[in-house]
Amino acid sequence: MLEKLFKLSENRTDIRTEILGGLTTFMTMAYIIVVNPAILSFAGLPVGPSTVATVLTAVFGCLLMAFYANRPIAVAPYMGENAFIAFGLATMGIGWQERLGAVFVSGILFLILSVSGIRPWLANSIPASLKHAFAAGVGLFLTFIGMYQTGIVTGGGAGLPAAALTIAQTQLLRAPDVPVKIGNFHDPHVLLAVCGFLLIATLQYRKVKGATLIGIVAIAVIGYLMGLGEAPRAIFAMPFVGEYSLAPLAFKLDVVSVLKLSFLPILLTLFLMSFLDTLGTLVAVGSAGNMLDENGNFPDVEKPMLVDSLSCIFSSVVGSSTAGAFIESATGIKEGARTGLAAFVVALLFFICLFFLPLIEPLQHLAYAYAPALMSVGLLMMGSVAKIDLDDLTESVPAFATIVMMIFSYNIANGITAGLILYPLFKVLVGRWREIHPGSVVMAMLCLVYYVFGLPH
């Protein structure tokens, strides 16, 4: 049955490898169960119902990815988009019901573009050099996230008194003189994270199956034995009742209020962020698992994009932020996952979590255990840089801009938009406009609209 559903032999994989890949992916992305509700709480969404909505969105998206797209890519509410919903719209006086309505409308736009074939056409019009830059940039971005979450690096203002970061005679904070700095290497959390990275790398060098998952579990156990883990307040809780009831959020979105001209920048921002995040994720994970074709395109890209569209709509209905393909899927793909069976495993694990939310919560605070996996994936994805033609400046300049903007603006969409704008522009400036694909021009114009009329952050 599994062979027929997921075509395991055709994809040169087996049940054990797919289960292992799914477990690894889940371990590196399960933090979303805690982090997403915490961020959305700033928009006024109650934490308990928001937690259930987050998990349901992941289950729905992963099941679609498994049985429709047959790809080893997990789906959940996006990091970045949730911050935009919670903080980016905070000064506009928009209620959370309208914010969910904006997510719903942007999802409908995704669906229309996906079904019409326009969205895959745009995705496949992107030059190979930029696709490799997306992979390398996302890899470094994941590395930076892992290093920051574990405290290997920290913010430049960390440890300074508030007065040192306050503009004179105002209550406004200024940017610190040093944006980031090395963390406290006397902190056992930091040392455990470094050991975790070295352990995973050592196991990968020795080609141990499940190296990433083994590293995560081993460091988590050591951390607990050292007293660096919190005890859960409970083990079991029924979903959909009491504090975990969906009633306060489900179907509470306000779509009518969103259909106004004043909401156009919000819809544009959500649309482009999600489209570009999904595109960057698909290219990055495809590159990580050698799943791209000879032109650097993701085969049957319209299927995972359709999954992304429907997941976005579903998330808004149950009460969560924009959802889509998760870059952490690269960890499972690096373990050998190649089919939707891995995504099904992720969906099953998220579903089980619905009944053990009190038990899961403290586990997701163990950044020293799961973040080294992000760093190790970043290392492996750096190989994409070698595929960029660095001798041709019309290829290397947009690729360079893509990578550095992703990392230094801490936003995948910013890097992708910068590269997509610069690619046709630089080709025109040097007189090589004949090499430009029409879709590249369309993408560049969309990205310009994002910067001029959207809400980039």
User: Nearest 5°: CA angle at 305, between 80 and 20?
Assistant: 80
Query: What mean pLDDT comes out for the span 40-59?
Result: 92
Residues 258 and 101 sit within 8 Å (Cβ to Cβ): yes
Mean pLDDT across 113-136: 82
**Which amino acid makes up residue 312?**
C
pLDDT at residue 41, rounded to an integer: 86
Query: How many Å apart are CA 86 and CA 42, to the nearest integer?
Result: 6
Give the whole-angstrom CA distance, residue 54 versus residue 121: 30
| Residue at 335 is within a domain | yes
Element (H, E) at 104: helix 96-116
For the residues 18-33, what does the mean pLDDT come to? 89
Rounded to whole angstroms, the Cα distance separating 305 from 279 reads 8
Cβ atoms within 10 Å, residue 392: 12
Residues 152, 145: Cα–Cα separation, whole Å:
10
Residue 145 confidence class, pLDDT cut points 50, 70, 90: confident
Q: 154: pLDDT confidence band, cut at 50, 70 and 90?
A: very high
- Mean pLDDT check: name the lowest of 117-121, 374-378, 453-457: 453-457
Residue 177: both structure tokens together = 């003189």
Whether residue 156 is contained in a domain is answered as no
Question: What are 235-257's pLDDT values in tens digits?
Answer: 888 989 888 999 999 999 999 98
For residue 90, the model assigns a pLDDT of 65
Average the pLDDT over each of 68-77, 291-300, 309-318, 379-388 and give the range with the smallest value. Answer: 291-300
- Domain assignment present for residue 248? The answer is yes
Q: Is residue 166 part of a domain?
A: no
pLDDT score at 207:
81
Q: Is the pLDDT of residue 390 over 90?
A: yes
88 falls in which pLDDT band (50, 70, 90)? low
Mean pLDDT across the chain: 87
Looking at this protein, which amino acid is placed at residue 292? L
CB 412 within 8 A of CB 420: no
Inside any domain, residue 161: no
Bridge partners of 77, per DSSP, are 323
Asked whether residue 24 carries a pLDDT value surpassing 70, the answer given is: yes
Domain with 439, as residue range(s), is 9-151+187-453
pLDDT digits (tens, 9 = 90+) for 318-358: 999 989 898 889 889 988 899 999 999 999 999 999 999 88
Three-class SS state of 77: strand
Tell me what the mean pLDDT of segment 107-133 comes to.
83
Is 169 among the domain residues?
no
- Specify if 4 maps to a domain: no
Q: Residue 346 and residue 32: Cα distance in Å, rounded?
A: 13
Give the residue ranges of DSSP H helices in 263-301: 264-288
Instruction: Note whether residue 168 is domain-resident.
Output: no
Minimal CA–CA distance to 412: which of 404, 422, 421?
A: 404
In total, how many domains does the chain have?
A: 1
| Nearest Cα to Cα of residue 344 among 11, 7, 13, 26 | 26
Q: Which residues pair with 181 in a beta bridge?
A: 154
Q: Would you say residue 267 has pLDDT above 90? A: no
**Residues contacting 371, CB < 8 A, separation 6+:** 145, 146, 147, 149, 150, 193, 196
Q: CB–CB of 236/84 below 8 Å?
A: no
Q: Would the pLDDT of 451 be above 70?
A: yes
Mean pLDDT for the stretch of residues 192-203: 95
